[in-house]
Amino acid sequence: MDVVALLEAASLLVPEGVATENDLTVNDVWDHLAHDEWDVALGLLEELGDARPPPPGFWQDLARAAEHLRLERSAAWCHWRLRECRYGVIRADLTLRPAAEARRQIPFPGAGVLRPMWDIGLTTPAGDPGLLVARVRVEELPFLGPGGRATVRLAPLTPSKWRHLRPGRTLHMHEDRTVAGTAVAVEAARPSPPEPA
């Protein structure tokens, strides 16, 4: 399937009446497609996907289109959103400890490559904190450094163990035995319902 077909298929999955913050709609996507502005249409579809959660096929089509266009950051974002459709969305306000108080001395990339452990309130049979691994994607910042604060999205390695999480819950990030940062969950949404066959 070519890029235009993928973008057209994704645009058909945008619910009627959905618009971006700037009042752009799927009609604007079609206009950009008519003028062969594929990357602009892709970016606009990504924004429309934020307005109201579309089905997983939407993000799958966008990821494939971004890969064909060699837009690595867009492809990675669309794959992230596809995973959230399948396993749920977890967002939190994270504050890292200052460099003088923690192991981390340099910023980490915000693109979802860091895989720290998280104390989300579970315990082991021995009574120790049951730490779970989740990738961290920082919203609106390319890096987050010691002492920094940002809203992050988490992608758990074992999503089923995070189902009890609710907004307001405090989470502790670990890169070793010490607490590297503290977060408060602001969103914990269930996965999207399966698409009809």
- Domain-embedded: residue 66: yes
**For the segment 34-68, what is each residue's pLDDT rounded down to a tens digit?**
999 999 999 999 999 987 778 899 999 999 999 99
Taking the C-alpha atoms of residue 184 and residue 139, their distance in angstroms, rounded to an integer, is: 15
Higher model confidence: residue 196 or residue 149? 149
- Domain-embedded: residue 175: yes
Q: Which two tokens stand for residue 85?
A: 């459709």
Locate the DSSP E strands across 41-197. 89-96, 108-109, 111-114, 117-123, 129-138, 143-144, 149-156, 170-174, 179-189
- Single residue among 34, 67, 87 that ends a domain in this structure: 87
Residue 197: pLDDT above 70?
no
| Residues 158 and 172 both lie in one domain | yes
- Compute CA distances 1 → 62, 74, 116, 142, 158, whole Å: 12, 18, 37, 32, 32
| Residues 181 and 158 both lie in one domain | yes
Residue 195: pLDDT above 90?
no
Q: Which two tokens stand for residue 64?
A: 């494939």
**pLDDT value at position 5?**
94
- Domain-embedded: residue 61: yes
pTM over 0.85: yes
